[in-house]
Amino acid sequence: MTEQLATMQFHPRPEAGEARPWAFPAPERSTLGNGLTVLRCHRPGQQVVAVEVLLDAPLDAEPAGLDGVATIMARAFTEGTDRDSAEEYAAELERAGATLDAHADHPGVRISLEVPASRLAKGLGLLADALRAPAFAESEIERLVRNRLDEIPHETANPARRAAKELSRQLFPATARMSRPRQGTEDTVEKIDAAAVRGFYDRHVRPATATVVVVGDLTGIDLDTLLGETLGAWTGTPGESRPVPPVTADDTGRVVVVDRPGAVQTQLLIGRVGSDRHDRVWAAQVLGTYCLGGTLTSRLDRVLREEKGYTYGVRAFGQVLRSAPDGTGASMLAISGSVDTPNTGPALDDLWTVLRTLKAGGLTDAERDVAVQNLVGVAPLKYETAAAVASTLADQVEQYLPDDYQATLYQRLADTGTVEATAAVVAAFPEDRMVTVLVGDAAQIAEPVRALGIGEVTVVTAE
């Protein structure tokens, strides 16, 4: 039953105008005297300059029993230097209108500085102090350790983060660093002290194995001089390359319910491990994954959200965990979202039906076309800010990809056909080789899920 049409005058849907060419920016490479690799990229109009530093300090380099030391080191970079106390350092950053974030992940430590172009010199000076002469004062490390211990229960109480933790534990062998939380456990974090942080810094942080990416409006800025006076003063011994450990994973189809009594929704995370961006199939996989669960008009949400109303949104994605120069790296391929508790069984049933239907019938040409148009078309929007460009350039370096990787990825996407995209996404999400983690009310969801026959169901008691 619809209402009478309003009186507005209708016009046919307009056609697109002529596209103005856009290309992902090509960075310029150089090396400072201390061995630091520099990538720079001038982006006119971007008044907030983004600076990303990559340190070759991967999580698997953490000493046994000290998981989390890389995280504490990353946080401690901003807690005082040879010039400033922790409070003074924070004040100086804010005086420059700057933000500086540092975090540790499997490939290494990343530091992101954003600062107005007019204060770039000040920002780079502070960044250089942090890397060159961090204080790592005992009292500050002790505080960061306690703070980190306080954060853990907050993360455990968050269903999405709890699910991610469980999936890693399920997929990877217990001996692999990837099976354990990136930022350590209570047992390991409480053992971290200033000496451990200093030791990790001495072994793994040096300009010769680091890269800095600078992106923004560099008009009137003598970047070489600025870098020379700041990051150029950072010294260190030559680095040695370390082998990247191979990644193995057990993706035997199974279901793990993390019990959260009384939960009104079930958080689902269904995943396995795939190859990294060096794989020739990556572009086709990106395309197919978008068609499966990239947006609310993709296959999963078309059923689970827009037809059934079981969820606010379910997404499928591929995310690189760690790369190696020889292409032996790994990525996490996963489907995530939350569904209301009573409909958990029906929602998973529908989700599996979507996967089976996709395998049996494949993607349509129309789906493929829309996906390509979106993935390629959004590039100029996605890379409007300096921070977005810097982050992708840094990812490329971190993943041993050429500087023109992103630019050529768009060409590859455009060249990928429906058959290739179907094959890639069906191979990425095989219905019988995925680990399903459900964080929810086991008493209500375990039986309906068992009845689906999507794998053995075990229940883990919540902490």
Residue with tokens 């000290």: 66
Say whether residue 128 binds another protein (CB under 8 A): no
Say whether residue 460 binds another protein (CB under 8 A): no
Say whether residue 26 binds another protein (CB under 8 A): no
- The DSSP string of 53-68 is EEES--GGGSPTT-TT
Residues in the chain: 463
Say whether residue 278 binds another protein (CB under 8 A): no
Say whether residue 61 binds another protein (CB under 8 A): no
Say whether residue 47 binds another protein (CB under 8 A): yes
Binding positions for another protein, 256-275, rule CB under 8 A: 263-265, 267, 269
350: nearest Cα among 362, 335, 363: 335
Are the C-beta atoms of 362 and 19 separated by less than 8 Å? no
Say whether residue 20 binds another protein (CB under 8 A): yes
Say whether residue 342 binds another protein (CB under 8 A): no
Q: Shortest approach of another protein to residue 36 CB, angstroms?
A: 26
Amino acid at 221: I
Say whether residue 443 binds another protein (CB under 8 A): no
The alpha carbon dihedral of 456, 435, 445, 359 has a sign of: negative
- Count of Cβ atoms closer than 10 Å to residue 116 Cβ: 16
Query: How far, in Å, CA of 266 to CA of 331, rounded?
Result: 25
Amino acid at 293: G
Binding positions for another protein, 88-127, rule CB under 8 A: 90-91, 93-99, 116
Q: Shortest approach of another protein to residue 336 CB, angstroms?
A: 5
- Count of Cβ atoms closer than 10 Å to residue 34 Cβ: 17
Are the C-beta atoms of 213 and 394 separated by less than 8 Å? yes
Residue 93 or residue 358: which is nearer to another protein going by CB?
Answer: 93
Residue 32 or residue 194: which is nearer to another protein going by CB?
Answer: 194
Binding positions for another protein, 382-411, rule CB under 8 A: 384-385
Alpha-carbon distances, residue 25 vs 49, 114, 408 (angstroms): 15, 19, 11
Burial of 381 (C-beta count, 10 Å sphere; 0-12/13-18/19+)? exposed
15-23, 219-227, 323-331, 401-409 -> range binding another protein (CB under 8 A):
15-23
11-19, 124-132, 223-231, 419-427 -> range binding another protein (CB under 8 A):
11-19
Classify 125 as helix, strand or coil. helix
Residue 235 or residue 443: which is nearer to another protein going by CB?
Answer: 443
Binding positions for another protein, 295-334, rule CB under 8 A: 295-297, 302, 305-313, 315, 317, 319, 332, 334
Say whether residue 64 binds another protein (CB under 8 A): no
